Amino acid sequence: MSTIERTQAHRYVLFNCPQVQPYIEEFRHHLRRRSRGRRIPNTELEKIVIKDFMNWFPQRMNNPYISSTVVNYLKYLAQGPTTHARRIYAFNVNGFKFRTEIREQDLKTQNCGVFLTSSTSCVESGVDQNTRQADLAYYGKLEDIIELNYYGHFKVTLKDPWGFTCINFSRLIHTGDREEHDPYIEASQAEMVYYIDDEVNKEWSIVVHLKPRDLYDMGEGDGEVCE
């Protein structure tokens, strides 16, 4: 994995871990106090949190005043994943058998479509810069399956350049080209969709949602170490 990919995947794991949420809120309060009375706009505050929390969190976990009370799992998360990750080409989760786009070359079946509903911070309008949480639907094609190693604790993440409900894969968001992008999700959050090419509008795809099946095998044995 490149440095940017590792940062993106690790950040997503942290920000979607319930046990880490109190520390993210603590970091927000820390930033507000540090501003010395200057009110930081919510949009600016969230950008700082996304950019700097990963550097602040390990320092907080190593604070001698709280270190003895912190569970080891959080300490492992704070360190970040090791430089050696495992790339997987197929993975079974939530009753779906996912395959990466590369694995599906020359296959007649399609198992790379990914759907996610995510609570996302949105700006009210161009005038009102206050943020609110809204559940948004994201659609993507599975580019990579990466198993992160947090010193013996493993997290499987899926990399999907995302689009919205009307799918035009020539206009993607969160492609992963920039560090602040979020192309990764946790495997446990993924649902499967099927894409059909629109015969009239060639750049657009029609989404078909699939129902999960009874699949209990978590992953496949084929994979490789990536650095």
Condensed to tens digits (0 to 9), the pLDDT of residues 173-202 reads: 555 556 777 778 888 888 898 888 777 677
Residue 165 has pLDDT above 80, yes or no: no
Backbone angles phi, psi at 39, to 5 degrees: -75, 120
Q: What average pLDDT score do residues 84-96 get?
A: 91
Cα 97 from Cα 116, distance rounded (Å): 16
At residue 221, the pLDDT reads: 46
C-alpha distance across the termini of the chain, in Å = 5
Task: Categorize the per-residue pLDDT at 129 as very low, low, confident or very high, splitting at 50, 70 and 90.
Answer: low
Q: Token pair of 106, please?
A: 């020359």
Residue 217 has pLDDT above 50, yes or no: no
Beta strands, E only, the chain: 85-88, 90-93, 96-99, 113-123, 131-141, 144-150, 153-159, 162-163, 167-168, 184-186, 191-197, 204-209, 223-226
pLDDT tens profile 13-66: 999 999 999 999 999 999 998 887 778 888 889 899 999 999 999 999 999 999
Measured CA distances, 26 to 53, 109, 148, 174 (Å): 10, 47, 26, 27
Q: Which residues pair with 132 in a beta bridge?
A: 122
Measured CA distances, 202 to 160, 164, 177, 195, 198 (Å): 21, 17, 25, 13, 6
Q: Give the other-Cβ count within 10 Å of 177's Cβ.
A: 10
pTM to 2 decimals?
A: 0.77
Residue 220 has pLDDT above 60, yes or no: no
